Structure formats: C-alpha cells, structure tokens
Amino acid sequence: MIGVVYKFKPHNKLNGTLFYCYEYYRFLKTLVDVKFYIVGITDGDRQLINKVFSEKYVDYVDEIVPVQRIVDLYRIKLQQTLILDVHTFYMCKEFLTGRIHCFSNETHDMYKYKDLREVIFYGIYSYQRYNVKNMLKLNFDIFKPCETKSGVFISCLDQTHLKDNIRKYEKQFDKPIILKQSHSGQGNLFDLIDHVHYVHVQQDTNNRIIPEAFHHNKTVTIEEVYTYKDSIRMRYDDILENGLSTYTLTYDDEMVKACLQSCS
C-alpha cells in the first residue's frame, strides 16, 4: 500500500503543502492503490478541508483518511510513504514504515534510519538538502476553471508587514483587496480576482500561488522587499520565459516514479 501522509497544522489550516499533498494523491490514484492520510485532523477541520477542496478541484469526493494519533501510522504498515514537508516527516518518522519519500521543503539534517527503513529526500533549490533532484509540481488537470472578477490577492508570508502596509495597498490598487484566510477559506480564490500581487519579505521555499496565477491567466506582480533569489523570482522569471511545463505534475516526476516502481 502507498500512502500520502500529511501532519495537520491547526495554526495554519490551509497552506500550500496541504494542496500539494492532495494533488499528488489524486495523480497517483489514477495509477495505483493509494490513500491520503491526514494526521491529527478533527472532524470539524476535515469538513473545512472537504469544503475548500470541493470548491477548488473537479470531481472531488471525501477520501481523507484521518489518523488521530501519530502512533497509529505504525499499525497501517505502509510499504511506500510520500511526504511533502519535513515538518510532517520529523513529527512522524518514528512510526513510519517501509520506504519513505520526503520532499525537502526546508533545510534539515538529512535524517537516516538505523534499521531497514529508508528515507529518500527530494529537492531542487540550493537551500534544500536532498538525495534526488526534483521539482515540487502542481496537478493542473484537476483544477476547476475559474471566473474573473476585479480584485487583487495580496500574498505575503509576514502578516505583520501586510497589516502595517494595507492602507498603502488599498491606495495602490483601485479594486477589492483579498487576503489569505488560512482558517476558513473563501471559495475558489481565483474566482474573486484578476491580479496576484506578491510581497516578497522573506524566503519562500516552494511557492505555488505564482504558477497557479499564471495557470489561471491572472496578472502577477512582485514587490521585492527581500532580495534573496528563491522560488519566487526563480519561478516568476522561468514561467515568463518557458511556460508552466516545469511545474506541471506528470509521470516524469521523480517521486511519482519512485512510488510506481514499488508496484511494477
């Protein structure tokens, strides 16, 4: 059995990793027997995630398998585990089984098991530590088409900076301003806007709002406060020059191929 495993974050319920996990699960589901496990999710938060996913993705049905306690992962006895953030891996590593594939979304110490279990880390950027080079990708095929209304989504990792400058943005953009609602969602965000403005204030390791915005043909602008070249500027420049193919989930993804090899 293959499982995509994600440790729920009550302080940041709706985040990019959660969406990446579901999109990889949906892609793998067309090919193999796979389940989507969310560790530590309540019934109420499961209803929230189901609502948000149904608004964002086509043909959505509730296939979340809740795992109430981390220790319960050991009883499932997965042969292959796909994890897309190191927080989940380090929270759950003692109770994972079989072969583990983990995307290095941030720096870490490259943990190795002392028994027969194996963990393989994946990454692409210089600030990630990994064994196999691989870009984290989006499953655009399951995105719902979106409408276009006049509005701008201000994306910023530092909510204090955003709050302190919100009046500036209200004057800058002569249209409704939409902000992230990480605890409630707001339908399909891209139905509400025609513009994404990214305020770059700190390192963003695997940004997805930029490729999503280009996929939906929205205007994308970047405000550089933090000048380190990370996934923001790299993805923006690359998509403008080469399109979205590098960021589109396909059979060539190294994590997908590794999971499929166990079934061949």
Least confident of 28-37, 70-79, 135-144, 204-213: 204-213
- Which pLDDT tens digit goes with each residue over 160-213? 899 899 999 999 998 999 998 877 777 789 999 999 999 999 888 889 999 999
pTM for this entry: 0.95
The correct answer on CATH 3.40.50 for the domain covering 2-139+249-261 is yes
Q: What percent of the chain has pLDDT over 90?
A: 80
Task: Categorize the per-residue pLDDT at 56 as very low, low, confident or very high, splitting at 50, 70 and 90.
Answer: very high
- Which pLDDT tens digit goes with each residue over 83-127? 999 999 999 999 999 999 999 998 889 999 999 899 999 999 888
pLDDT over 80 (residue 262): no
**Sequence spans of domains, the chain:** 2-139+249-261, 144-247
Task: Report the alpha-carbon distance of residue 179 to residue 14 in Å, rounded.
Answer: 13
For 35-70, b/e burial (b = at least 16 CB within 10 A) is: bbbbbbbeeebeebbeebbeebbeebeeebeebeeb
